[in-house]
Chain A
Amino acid sequence: MATEFHNLQELRHSASLANKVFIQRDYTDGTVCKFQTKFPSELDSRIERTLFEDTVKTLNNYYAEAEKIGGQSYLEGCLACLTVYLIFLCIETRYEKVLKKISRYIQEQNEKVYAPRGLLITDPIERGMRVIEISVYEDRGSSASSSGSSTTSSSGR
């Protein structure tokens, strides 16, 4: 199904424009990294509410695990302090380990859940942990009206 577009102008005016939905941070628990689980209206017709909420809740749990203050983090902190923080040249911090897990999870979710529905999640770390950016791709065969707001058609990445 490789379609050839002869110029990008034609691309932009076609029905296949991408839209982006941003899931903002939820600061009600303080400065811990947590995203709002409120279902955005732009995704209403694209994905089931439960799937979306599951993804966000799992991500929130991962971040909570990364930022947990407990025995392991104290141990890591004390050990690091004693070695003048040089130990981090050799080993990864727990936060970094969890971020890798998150990366793999997002990739897996994209492959299994979101890509078949024409959506794509961007890892929040690439957006400064401010937002979960969900790119909405139009189905080329569908009607011209885009889902969600038609007043803003933002440029794609």
Chain B
Amino acid sequence: MTGNMHLGVEEPIRECQYNQICTHNSSTMDTPHTKKKKIKRKWQVFPGRNKFYCNGRIMMAKQTGVFYLTVVLILVTSGLFFAFDCPFLASNLTPAIPAIGGVLFIFVMGMLLRASFSDPGVLPRATPEEAADIERQIDTANGPSGPGYRPPPRTREVLINGQTVKLKYCFTCKIFRPPRASHCSLCDNCVERFDHHCPWVGNCVGRRNYRFFYLFILSLSLLTIFIFAFVITHVILRSNRTGFLSALKDSPASVLEVVVCFFSIWSIVGLSGFHTYLISSNQTTNEDIKGSWSSKRGKGNYNPYSYGNLITNCCAALCGPLPPSLIDRRGFVQPDTPQPVAQTNGTGACPSNQVQSHMT
């Protein structure tokens, strides 16, 4: 809820039920630009390194080249399958084959686009007041420091289900990261339940899009195996009639499909298997790589987030509630609100200066 916005100092303060006073000092910082009628949407002033499309509806990482490669590979391989192999298979075996293939293909593309285009669970950066409040708490906790004294690393310890977890302070976002959150250096955002940054998907994989990512790789494994199996079947059936070499000549696309599928299967099926293991133990790739919950770290080190039950872990990851996006990409920037800490100054307001000028 925003207070009364009074940029013009000549206007009388509107009477309210409570003495809500506009203490905006943005008028002193105002440049003529902020008074113009064009109001920006929040994605336009987003401090992270993301790209936005469709007026903020689509959100991706900065480097998207590999994502386009993924799309092209899937489209081309599936396209060739439907164009060259399916007619033969439909007429000689059953039309269910292209039907199932079609359903799988739609599911794969749907999940890929959903994983790539959605907000992975980015945590918005702290507002200047929040950042100041946290700084104050850290300073009182650490005690006074001299000019040359390097303050100790900022951490907080929390006891979660009997396990001590360290919360780290993010210097970029000016927040204490929630448990399981991590800062993605490529996107320059803190992401909740950060799994990894996937270049194939062109986005971070985090709390909000992990299930789409998992369903994507799972369905892609099935699609790859499906195409591989039925292309081989097609070539074999044709070879029985016309001989192997002429079968290949009649259906050259099959060779390409087999090669692509053969090399993809190892990596994608392997990745699906790995993520199935992660889901069943309720870990993230990040935690697994760091060995956060490994017993090698010490006796009694266990994963406090696991529900203990394989089925429950899977259901929670895949069928749990889908949290909303916290960054409100398409909302409008309130012209008087100072922007959270950004690398570059936002709408003319300098948040850090504002905070310091009010420290008495």
* Residue ranges of A at the interface with B (Cβ–Cβ < 8 Å): 1-8, 11-12, 16-18, 20, 22, 25, 27-31, 66-69, 73-74, 76-78, 80-81, 84-86, 88, 93-96, 99, 107, 110, 115-116, 118, 120, 122-123, 125-131, 133, 137-140, 149-157
Contact = CB atoms under 8 A, between A and B. Distances in A.
Greatest chain A CB density within 10 A among B14, B21, B25, B359 is at B21
Contact of B126 (A94, A130, A157): A130
A125 B321 contact: no
Given A27-B179, A120-B20, A122-B1, A155 B133 contact: no
B354 interface: yes
Across chains A and B, which 10 residue pairs bring their CB atoms closest together, nearest first?
A77-B319, A156-B23, A84-B110, A128-B124, A154-B129, A128-B326, A74-B319, A4-B12, A27-B158, A2-B15
Contact of B158 (A28, A110, A118, A123): A28
Interface in B1-33: 1-3, 9, 12-15, 17-25, 27-28
B318 interface: yes
Contact of B322 (A8, A16, A31, A93): A93
A155 B167 contact: no
A129 B126 CA distance: 11
Given A130-B130, A153-B358, A157-B2, A30 B305 contact: yes
Interface size class of B (residues with CB under 8 A): 35 or more
Contact of A125 (B18, B165, B326): B326
Interface string B319-331: 1111110111000
B321 A73 contact: yes
B315 interface: yes
Contacts of A93: 321-322, 324
B76 interface: no
Contact of A16 (B12, B21, B192): B21
B130 A138 contact: no
A18 B358 CA distance: 12
B193 interface: yes
A6 B9 contact: yes
A97 B292 CA distance: 35
Contacts of A28: 158-160
A103 B198 CA distance: 35
30 contacts: A2-B12, A3-B12, A8-B9, A8-B28, A11-B23, A16-B21, A31-B178, A74-B315, A77-B318, A78-B319, A85-B212, A93-B321, A96-B324, A110-B1, A125-B324, A126-B328, A127-B127, A127-B130, A133-B129, A149-B136, A150-B360, A151-B359, A152-B358, A154-B355, A155-B25, A155-B128, A156-B24, A157-B2, A157-B336, A157-B337
Given A95-B322, A152-B358, 5 more contacts: A7-B9, A20-B129, A22-B133, A137-B20, A155-B354
A22 to B, nearest CB: 5
Given A27-B158, A69-B315, A133-B130, A153 B360 contact: yes
B58 to A, nearest CB: 14
B237 interface: no
Contacts of A20: 129, 133
B161 interface: yes
B132 interface: yes
B62 interface: no
A80 B111 CA distance: 12
Contacts of B124: 127-128
Contacts of A120: 1, 18, 20
Interface of B: 1-3, 9, 12-15, 17-25, 27-28, 106-107, 110-111, 114, 123-124, 126-130, 132-133, 136, 158-161, 165, 167, 175, 178-180, 192-193, 212, 215, 304-305, 312, 315-316, 318-324, 326-328, 336-338, 354-355, 358-360
Contact of B305 (A31, A115, A118, A137): A31
Nearest to B19: A140
A8 B178 contact: no
Nearest to A78: B319
Nearest to B114: A85
Nearest to A22: B133
Contact of A30 (B127, B179, B315): B179
A118 B12 contact: no
A18 B1 CA distance: 14
B161 A30 contact: yes
Contacts of B129: 20, 22, 133, 154-155
Given A137-B20, A152-B132, A84 B106 contact: yes
Contact of B17 (A88, A95, A115, A156): A115
A136 to B, nearest CB: 11
Most buried by B among A78, A85, A153, A155: A155
A155 B126 CA distance: 14
